[in-house]
Amino acid sequence: MAELLRPYAQARPDEPALTDERGSRTWRELNERTDRLAGALRDLGLGSGDAIAIHCGNRCEHFELMCAAGHIGLRYVLVNWHWTADELRYILQDAGARALFSEEPFGGVAREAADGLDLLARVAIGGDVEGFTPYERFLAAGPDGEPADQVLGYPMNYTSGTTGRPKGVSRKLVRAGAPIETAILIGDLLAGILRIPEAGRSLLVGPVYHSAQWLWSYVFLLRGRSVVMRRAFDAAETLRLIDEHAITNIHLVPTQFVRMLRLDEAARGAFDGGSLAVVWHGAAPCPPAVKRQMIDWFGPIVHEYYGSTEASVNTVITASEWLERPGSVGRPLPITEVHVLTGDGEPAAPGENGQIWFRYTSGDDVEYWGDEEKTRSVHRPDGLFTTGDIGRMDEEGYLFLSDRAIDMIISGGVNIYPAEIEGVLITHPAVRDVAVFGIPDEEFGEQVKAAVELSDGFTPSSGLTEELIAHVRASLAGYKAPRTVDYVTEMPRTPTGKLYKRLLREPYLAAD
């Protein structure tokens, strides 16, 4: 048996381990298919440290592949299925992928991206793709029985590329070939910190290629928590699934909160939610007004973490702590040092903004795959590393985020943090989504610009622009209010909630 699945395949063989729109896999089935897939992958000649790419939406087969690779020491590259052929080809080459598993809806992109590459296998999931082996045929060709010499494989996530080409992220201590028991230690530690109930059930409504969604589904699957998943997020369906499947834990992002809060009274009133033990959110700043509404609705189980693709989970804050310190993202985990340093590298005073730096007490560290220069650029000589965020600590050690250094606006020599302004604008009923950024200004260097995606029933007008600017001025200092507002049909966000601000900013930089 696959060692990490063995306890559940033996104790709960006929209970669902994975459920998607197409059906379920029991723990027994997941274990058997994982064993066979692991053998099929080894039959390709793949060994510990080699890479496969998974170009697939949220479905049972995606998890089967991660389980198989994770038991035989492979790097499995989690591909953003929205990428173009050029972007996918870059990832395949950069990661050194030796096999590509692609879902049929993305087959055209996959064929173009893989053309001419020296791959050991091209496998199509969920349908036929010209030149690709059907997934079930590939799986069936694997040998019977448990794979020998099981060792830990690990995911390679790529940063979203909001500031350039994506970079593969790996961790120093969690590399292919580590003892398989490492997954047990990590899973149990995080389940305790994140209050995930034993034998609970996770709901996945964000793309599993995102590091947080992977953690909140796959990592806890390996510790006995079954996963219910959907390909895409739908606010009303999410509420229904929580009740229907007795979901105990879910990871959401702030844009999903907003869509749930704006459901009609009938949809909200039909929701019970009694099975939920914990709701976690992160990945993007959450406006305080939105967070407070979610706590009022779901109860004091809406907790927050601060992390990143590079740095995983660094701080956590419970709902009750947050109500006492609105806006905080919590205190560091016992395994993580968090330092706020000023521009001259000195520790910032309590309440003083500075760049946020990290170090793991275990000796673990962050590396960018094949890019030593990039790795060095985010480290200090003393070993601290940064993801570019700006924040401050209060006297009790609670961290507050201001913004990312790259997003900060400097107007007339004054630092302005867009997240603060976005948190006010999103509370206006006309605003469905919002981004604030700086554009060139001859007098002040930069001026504040807002881009707004309107809610249904609202149309752009000069009167609405004035109303939105006044809405900001009512809560913040006048210099923080946008000078102008653009209206966009759809905000350029990734499905994980991150915003491609450079796409909004670039036209103004080009015209400068």
Residues 6+ apart with CB under 8 A from 419: 285, 401, 402, 403, 407, 436
Q: Are residues 377 and 310 in the same domain?
A: no
How many Cβ atoms are within 10 Å of 181's Cβ, its own excluded?
A: 11
More confident position, 24 or 494: 24
Tokens read off for 384? 């601290």
| Within a domain: 216 | yes
Could you tell me the pLDDT band of residue 477, with boundaries at 50, 70 and 90? confident
Residue 473 has a pLDDT of 92
- Supply the range of the domain harboring residue 306: 180-325
> Contact, 73 vs 51, CB < 8 A?
no
| Within a domain: 175 | no
| Within a domain: 162 | no
How many Cβ atoms are within 10 Å of 270's Cβ, its own excluded?
A: 12
Distances, alpha carbon 160 to alpha carbons 230, 463, 498, in Å: 21, 36, 8
Of 306, 325, 344, the residue that ends a domain is 325
| Tens-digit pLDDT profile for residues 373-400 | 888 988 999 989 998 888 999 999 999 9
Mean pLDDT of the chain: 91
pLDDT over threshold 50, residue 162? no
Could you tell me the pLDDT band of residue 510, with boundaries at 50, 70 and 90? low
Residue 340 has a pLDDT of 96
| Tens-digit pLDDT profile for residues 216-247 | 999 999 999 999 999 999 999 999 999 999 99
Of 291, 325, 359, the residue that ends a domain is 325
Q: Are residues 450 and 425 in the same domain?
A: yes
Residue 389 has a pLDDT of 85
| Within a domain: 271 | yes
| Within a domain: 167 | no
User: Which CATH number does the domain housing residue 282 bear?
Assistant: 3.40.50.12780
Q: Are residues 302 and 428 in the same domain?
A: no
| Within a domain: 85 | yes
Q: Are residues 385 and 493 in the same domain?
A: no
Per 3-state DSSP, the chain is made up of helix, strand and coil in percentages (nearest 5) of 35, 30, 40
pLDDT over threshold 90, residue 478? no
Mean pLDDT of 193-214: 94
**Model-level pTM?**
0.82
More confident position, 29 or 476: 29
pLDDT over threshold 90, residue 140? yes
Mean pLDDT of 456-473: 95
Domain total in the chain = 4
Mean pLDDT of 89-109: 96
Q: Are residues 184 and 147 in the same domain?
A: no
> Contact, 241 vs 252, CB < 8 A?
no
| Within a domain: 168 | no
The proportion of the chain whose per-residue pLDDT surpasses 90, expressed as a percent, equals: 69
User: Which CATH number does the domain housing residue 471 bear?
Assistant: 3.30.300.30
| Within a domain: 27 | yes
The proportion of the chain whose per-residue pLDDT surpasses 70, expressed as a percent, equals: 95
Mean pLDDT of 256-268: 91
Specify the residue for token string 């407070």: 292
User: Which CATH number does the domain housing residue 113 bear?
Assistant: 3.40.50.980
Range from 76-85, 288-297, 384-393, 498-507 carrying the lowest mean pLDDT: 498-507
Q: Are residues 288 and 393 in the same domain?
A: no
Q: Are residues 447 and 382 in the same domain?
A: no
Q: Are residues 272 and 310 in the same domain?
A: yes
Mean pLDDT of 119-142: 97
Q: Are residues 68 and 200 in the same domain?
A: no
User: Among 322, 263, 320, which residue's Cα sits nearest to residue 289?
Assistant: 322
Q: Are residues 432 and 385 in the same domain?
A: no
Residues 68, 51: Cα–Cα separation, whole Å: 12
Of 126, 157, 188, the residue that ends a domain is 157
